[in-house]
Amino acid sequence: MRRKTVKALATLGRATALTICVAAGATALLWSQGAAVLRDWDRDASDRPLSAARARLAVAASHVDAGARRLALAQLHNDLRDIRSMERLAPVAVQCREHLANCFELAFDHDAAAGLWREAIDFDANDLHAMARLAELQCRRPDTTAAGLQSLTQLIAMAPNAPCIVQSLVRALLALGRPEHALLALQASRASATVGTFVIAVGGEAATVSAMPCSNVGTNGALRLVFALPPTVHSLRLGWPVFAAFRLQTPLLRLSVPNEDIVVSLCERPGTMNGVVVDPDGIEALGHAAAWLNISLPARTDTMQCVITAGIVPRPSPAMAMTALDPVFAAWAAQPDAAIDVASRQQLAEWRAAALRGMRLGLRLGQGDALMARIECHPDNTFSATWMIERDASELQFEWPGERACHPWRTIELVAAGRTVTLDPRTVSLLATHAVQQSPLGLIVTGESPSVRIACPTGDRLTSLTVRGIL
């Protein structure tokens, strides 16, 4: 090598070393002075893969078309195949696999779904949800039915009122044509719902880290929670026992500070809530894992002694009641009185009411958005949903949420110009249908995005439409 070249290289080396030293100095300066800037960059950089994966999952799962959804989820699942259980992206990988398995199950590709559930168990040996779903699929194959049922029984012992496990067991028993056992499984979950420990929390989003267990001291079917709050607190979060399903009747909060007692109804001006439904006279927990209600408090300057009282009325859990709409249950309930005892019939009606109560049905009269109506359940074991319309209509399209259910509709009442026309949805001629079959039991939804379209027979401006059915 020529001397000149060596010299040039040496100079370049020196310059590079010096540059790196300058960079080191700048880094040292940044580290000592610009910690905040560094932390912002750090947070962005470390969270980016997670937020990107979450966004991809949300997009993939929201495809309306089942095929496109399955394809997008499979792509994401493939991209996340190297992620393992202890990594930050693990929750996204788990959710993606779960969505994809659901897609396969809906398409009746049980082998593919079972493969994914097995993969989920390999991924996390403590994934009871995946175990339950796999066992449910095993129950559908004659050669693995016994193993599946045994597995589900063990899982139920571990988590007797966890909705995902109870629903798997109920669906498995229904698939095996054992509705009476399935109803017993539902009822057992109801018996194991507890009212022992609530959680009191303060602090909005941080509530989970600043929550305290509060034990019920009420007896004879009553709730009585006693606790104290410092004066700086202006709202509290009441958390229900996990997977609890019951109604709090006339819930009151009594706040005692020196020389003053304030009584607040928890049903009046309720704050934000999750997993509970509030009506003027009570609050119903729906059986979700994290049910809570935020309650505003009057400002005080002393420590507040608080007592929450209510009556407790056990209810079937809506979180696991969808299985009560299964066509097998419907067929069982349609048997003559001699074949099914009154108590079972009533229990099933309560579960079906829990599934249907509040369900939003869609009615499309042409182009444009669907009109929505809520189902209401009545004490005589019937239900109804009413749309107030005031529009001309030639065709009526009904849309349901959810999949695989028997909607025990009996009549569709149309009111137009003071005249009522009643149709039987089980026999009326259908103009079009998607994933819905007519049956003597009602309308059976067999897949995703179910809908039926019928001709509107009134000919006049439609005033209202009411769907009625039996529980």
Torsion angle of the four alpha carbons 397, 328, 318, 467, in this order, in degrees rounded to the nearest 10: 30
Q: How far is the CB of 194 from another protein (least distance, A)?
A: 4
* Helix locations, 285-381, DSSP H: 327-333, 342-356
Q: How far is the CB of 302 from another protein (least distance, A)?
A: 11
CB-wise, 42 or 424, nearer to another protein? 42
User: What is the length of the chain?
Assistant: 471
Give the residue from 405, 404, 413, 363 showing the smallest Cα distance to 384: 413
CB-wise, 17 or 55, nearer to another protein? 17
Residue 274 CB contacts under 8 Å (≥ 6 apart), including other chains? 288, 290, 291, 292
List phi, psi (to 5°) of 86. -100, 5
Report d(CA 185, CA 156) in Å as an integer.
9
Tell me if residue 123 falls in helix, strand or coil: helix
Residue 198: Cβ-neighbour burial (10 angstroms; 0-12, 13-18, 19+) = buried
CB-wise, 19 or 422, nearer to another protein? 19
CB-wise, 30 or 388, nearer to another protein? 30
Q: How far is the CB of 309 from another protein (least distance, A)?
A: 9
Cβ count near 110 (within 10 Å): 16
Q: How far is the CB of 157 from another protein (least distance, A)?
A: 5
CB-wise, 239 or 316, nearer to another protein? 239
CB-wise, 154 or 394, nearer to another protein? 154
CB-wise, 90 or 470, nearer to another protein? 90
Query: What strands lie across the sheet with 451-455, from one edge to the other?
Result: 371-374, 360-364, 395-399, 451-455, 432-434
Q: How far is the CB of 455 from another protein (least distance, A)?
A: 46
Tell me if residue 419 falls in helix, strand or coil: strand
Q: How far is the CB of 141 from another protein (least distance, A)?
A: 22
Q: How far is the CB of 77 from another protein (least distance, A)?
A: 17
Report d(CA 357, CA 325) in Å as an integer.
12
